[in-house]
Chain A
Amino acid sequence: MSKIVKTIAALLFPACLVFGAYVVLHGHLTPGGGFQGGAVMATAAALLLVAGIPLASKHEGRYHALEALGLGLFLFFAFVGLGAASGSFFFNALASHGFFGQAVAPGPNPGNLHTSGTIAWMNLAVGIEVLGGISVILYALREAARGEGDGKAEGDGK
C-alpha cells in the first residue's frame, strides 16, 4: 500500500481503539455494548492488516491472549454470582451495594461508569473477547489469502 494509506491508517488506529473502548465502557449506559465496541476495536486491527503496516504481524499472539482473557473474565463474573449469598450463576453480585452497586438511572443519566454491578464488567469482558476473536479471524483470513499464492498483494512488509 502507498505511504498515504499507511500514514492515515496509523493515525486512525488509536482513534478506532479509543472509540471502541468508549462504546464498550458505556455499554450499560448507552446503545452499543461489549460486542459492538469490540467489533469497532477490531476494525483497528483490520486497518493495520489491510494497510500492510509491519507492526500488524507482531500483534497476532496478543489477540489470541485477549480472546482467552475476555472469555475467562466473562465466565469469572458469571461464577461470582455463585459466591453471593443465595445467588445463582450469572447473579449480579455487585448490585445494590458497594462501589458498583448503583442502578443505572432511567432516561438521561449522568453517565456514571460505576453503576449496574457486574453488567459493566461483563461488557468489558465481552469487548475484550470480541476484539480478540474478530482479530484472530482476520489474521486467519490473511493466512488463507497468502495460501492462495498471492502474497505480494498483501504487502504486509514481513
Chain B
Amino acid sequence: MIAFLQLHAPALAVALPLAAAILLLALGNHAKRLAGFLFLAGLLSGACFAWATALRVIATGTPVDYVFGAPAGAGPLDNPAGIALRIAFRVDALGALCLLPAALLSCLAGHYSCASERVTTGGAFFRPLFLLLSAGVYGMLSTGDLFNFFVFLEITSLSGAALAAYRVDGGLATEAGFKYAALSSLATMAYLLGAALLIAQYDALNLRVLAQALNSHAPTALDTMAMVCLLSALLLKCGAFPLHQWVPDVYSRAPGGVSAFLLVSSQASLYALFRFAFALFPQFARLNGALLLLAGAFSMFVGVTAALAQHDVKRLISHHAVSQTGYMLLGAGAGLWWTAGAAGEGTLATDALASGLFHMVNYALYNSLLFLAAGAVIAATKRRDLDELGGLGHRMPVTAACFGLGAIAIAGLPPLSGFASKWGLYVTSFRLSPFWAVVAMAVGLMTLASFVKVFHSVFLGPQKEEFASVEEAPKAMTFPLVVLAVLTVLIGLFPGWTFDRLLGPAAAVLTGGAQ
C-alpha cells in the first residue's frame, strides 16, 4: 500500500485537491461542517503527497518521473516508438525545493482562511477555488511538459483571479481581480504562442526532449520568438518589472490567506522562468542573464521606492513583493551570465542561482507571514491605513511578534532567513560587478526603513482608545503565523544545512555544475 501511494504520489498531489474541489462544488452551500472538513482534507492530502515526492527526491538525489496513462513505473520514453507522447511529471531537486514551501503554505493559508473567511459569504466557491489554486501550483512545479504547464498556468490564473476578487470590497477587489485575469490571459496566450512555435518545429512537448532538440543546432529565428514569448509571459506572471503593475492591486485587495498563497503561485511562474531560461535556452545565456539582471535591479528599486510612499499596510507589503522578486532575478541573472562563461565559473553560477533560489524560499515564508499578519490586523481592526493604526502590540502580542520577525527577515537583518539569502546574493553579485551588489544593499536599507515605519505605526506606541476592545486573532489564524515565524528563525540560524541539502542540488540541476 505504501509503495503504491509512493509510486503515485506526484499524481495524487494534484488529483486529491481536485477531487475535493469537485465534491465541494457538488455540496454547494449544504453541510457546512462537512465542507470545512473536506477542504482541509483536500489541502492536507495534496500537501502530504507533494511533500512525500519532494522528500523522496531530496533523500535519494534522483528525480521522480510519473507518466500519466502509462503502465506503472514507465518512463516518458518507454513505448514502442520511443517518443515522449504522454503527459509526464518530473520532479527533480529544483521542483522538490519549490514544492516544500508551496505545500506548507497551501495548508497554512487554507487553515488561516477557514477562520478569517468564516464571516464572509460565498464559502461554497471560495473553498473549491482555493483547492484548484493549490492543485495548479503543484502541477506547475511537478510537470515536465511544456503544454501541461500551460494548463496548470491557466488553472492557477483563473482561480487566482476569482479568489483575488472574492471580497468585493466596494468594487476595488473586483477591479483587481479583473486586472489579474486580463493580464494573466495575455501572459498565457503569449505562453501558448511560444509553446506552439516550439511544438511546430520539434514535434515535442516534453521539456527534456525539447531541450535536447533546441540545443542540437544554432537557434533559429522561430526559437528566438518562442523564447521571447515564453519568458515575457512568465516574467509577467511572476510580477517583475516592467510587468509588475498588477501585483500591488491584486495582493493588497485579496483576503490575507489568498494573498499569501497567490504569492506562491507567482513563485511557481518564477520557477518556470528559471527552468526555461537555463534548460531550454542556454544559447542565449548572456542575453537572458543581462535582461534578468536588469529586470531584477529595476524590480528591486521600483518596488521599494513605491513601497516607501504607501500608507495602506497590505499595499505596502505588496510593493515589497515586487522588490523581493527582483532579488531572485538578480541571483538567477548572475547565474545565467556565468553559465556562458569560462569553465571555472561553473561553481559561481551554481552559487549565484542557489542564492536566488534561497531567497525565493525565504521570501515565500516571510512574505506570506507578513500578509497573514497584516490580514489578522485588518480583520481585527477593520482598518488598513498606517496613519489610523497604532499601539496594537498591546492587544495583539502574538501577531505583533510574528510580524516583527517577518519584518526583520525581509529587511535582511541577521540572524533571520532574509539575511542569509541576501548575503549570498550580495557576495555573488559583487563578483559580477560591484554595481549590482550596491543596488541590492541600498534596496535592503530602504526595505529596512520601510518596515521600521510599518512596525512602529501599527504595533508600537500607546494603546489607542478605539482599539481598546480589539482582541488577538483566533488561534486558527495565529498558528500559521507562529509556524512561519519559527521556520524563518530556523532557516536563519542554519543556512548552511539548507544550502547544502536543498539549494546546492537544486541549482546544480540547472547550471549543470557539480556542487
Chain A residues proximal to chain B, CB less than 8 Å: 64-65, 67-69, 71-72, 75, 78-79, 81-82, 86-92
Alpha-carbon separation in the docked complex, A92 to B12 (Å): 17
Our pick among A65, A88, A92 for the contact of B72 (Cβ within 8 Å) is A88
Q: Is B8 an interface residue (CB 8 A)?
A: yes
- 14 example contacts (A-B, Cβ-Cβ < 8 A) are as follows A64-B28, A65-B26, A68-B22, A68-B25, A75-B18, A75-B22, A79-B19, A82-B8, A87-B71, A88-B11, A89-B15, A89-B66, A91-B71, A91-B72
Q: Is B150 an interface residue (CB 8 A)?
A: no
A71 and B71 contact, CB distance less than 8 A: no
Contacts of B12 in A (CB 8 A): 89
Q: Is B67 an interface residue (CB 8 A)?
A: yes
Contacts of A87 in B (CB 8 A): 71-72
Contacts of B18 in A (CB 8 A): 75
A105 to chain B, nearest CB (A): 19
Q: Is B68 an interface residue (CB 8 A)?
A: yes
Contacts of A81 in B (CB 8 A): 69
Shortest Cβ-Cβ A-B pairs, 10 listed: A89-B11, A68-B26, A90-B69, A90-B68, A86-B72, A71-B22, A68-B25, A72-B22, A88-B72, A86-B71
Alpha-carbon separation in the docked complex, A88 to B12 (Å): 10
Contacts of A71 in B (CB 8 A): 22, 25
Q: A67-B25, A68-B26, A75-B15 are in contact. List 12 more A-B contacts (CB 8 A).
A: A64-B28, A65-B26, A75-B19, A82-B8, A86-B73, A88-B8, A88-B67, A88-B69, A88-B72, A90-B68, A90-B69, A91-B69
Kindly identify, within residues 42 to 90 of chain B, every residue whose CB is under 8 Å from any CB belonging to chain A.
66-74, 87
A136 to chain B, nearest CB (A): 11
Output the nearest chain A residue to B71 by Cβ-Cβ distance.
A86
Contacts of A91 in B (CB 8 A): 69-72
Contact digits for B216-250, partner A, Cβ 8 Å, 1 yes 0 no: 00000000000000000000000000000000000
A75 to chain B, nearest CB (A): 6
Our pick among B19, B25, B28, B68 for the contact of A88 (Cβ within 8 Å) is B68
Output the nearest chain B residue to A64 by Cβ-Cβ distance.
B28
A72 and B68 contact, CB distance less than 8 A: no
Alpha-carbon separation in the docked complex, A89 to B22 (Å): 17
Output the nearest chain A residue to B70 by Cβ-Cβ distance.
A88
Contact digits for B1-39, partner A, Cβ 8 Å, 1 yes 0 no: 000000010011001001100110110100000000000
Output the nearest chain B residue to A86 by Cβ-Cβ distance.
B72
Alpha-carbon separation in the docked complex, A75 to B11 (Å): 12
Output the nearest chain A residue to B15 by Cβ-Cβ distance.
A89
Contacts of B87 in A (CB 8 A): 90
B207 to chain A, nearest CB (A): 19
Contacts of B73 in A (CB 8 A): 86
Output the nearest chain B residue to A87 by Cβ-Cβ distance.
B72
Our pick among A64, A69, A89 for the contact of B8 (Cβ within 8 Å) is A89
Output the nearest chain B residue to A81 by Cβ-Cβ distance.
B69
B49 to chain A, nearest CB (A): 12
Our pick among B26, B66, B69 for the contact of A72 (Cβ within 8 Å) is B26
Contacts of A86 in B (CB 8 A): 71-73
Contacts of B19 in A (CB 8 A): 75, 79
Contacts of B66 in A (CB 8 A): 88-89
A62 to chain B, nearest CB (A): 13
Our pick among B25, B28, B68 for the contact of A89 (Cβ within 8 Å) is B68
Alpha-carbon separation in the docked complex, A4 to B193 (Å): 44
Alpha-carbon separation in the docked complex, A65 to B11 (Å): 26
Contacts of B11 in A (CB 8 A): 88-89
Alpha-carbon separation in the docked complex, A88 to B67 (Å): 8
Alpha-carbon separation in the docked complex, A82 to B10 (Å): 13
Alpha-carbon separation in the docked complex, A23 to B70 (Å): 27
Alpha-carbon separation in the docked complex, A1 to B68 (Å): 50
B27 to chain A, nearest CB (A): 9
Alpha-carbon separation in the docked complex, A64 to B24 (Å): 12
Alpha-carbon separation in the docked complex, A4 to B69 (Å): 51
Alpha-carbon separation in the docked complex, A15 to B69 (Å): 36
Alpha-carbon separation in the docked complex, A64 to B128 (Å): 14
B505 to chain A, nearest CB (A): 27
From B22, B25, B28, B66, residue with most partner A Cβ within 10 Å: B22
From A64, A79, A81, A88, residue with most partner B Cβ within 10 Å: A88
B143 to chain A, nearest CB (A): 13
B37 to chain A, nearest CB (A): 18
Contacts of B8 in A (CB 8 A): 82, 88-89
Output the nearest chain A residue to B28 by Cβ-Cβ distance.
A64
Contacts of B67 in A (CB 8 A): 88
B140 to chain A, nearest CB (A): 17
Alpha-carbon separation in the docked complex, A68 to B23 (Å): 8
Alpha-carbon separation in the docked complex, A138 to B8 (Å): 38
Alpha-carbon separation in the docked complex, A29 to B25 (Å): 32
Contacts of A90 in B (CB 8 A): 68-69, 87
Contact digits for B304-318, partner A, Cβ 8 Å, 1 yes 0 no: 000000000000000
B23 to chain A, nearest CB (A): 8
Output the nearest chain B residue to A67 by Cβ-Cβ distance.
B25
Contacts of B25 in A (CB 8 A): 67-68, 71
Alpha-carbon separation in the docked complex, A79 to B22 (Å): 14
Contacts of A72 in B (CB 8 A): 22-23, 26
A89 to chain B, nearest CB (A): 4
B86 to chain A, nearest CB (A): 9
A124 to chain B, nearest CB (A): 16
B15 and A79 contact, CB distance less than 8 A: yes
Alpha-carbon separation in the docked complex, A108 to B304 (Å): 64
Contacts of A67 in B (CB 8 A): 25
A56 to chain B, nearest CB (A): 21
Alpha-carbon separation in the docked complex, A87 to B8 (Å): 10
Output the nearest chain A residue to B68 by Cβ-Cβ distance.
A90
Contacts of B22 in A (CB 8 A): 68, 71-72, 75
Alpha-carbon separation in the docked complex, A88 to B28 (Å): 31
B393 to chain A, nearest CB (A): 44
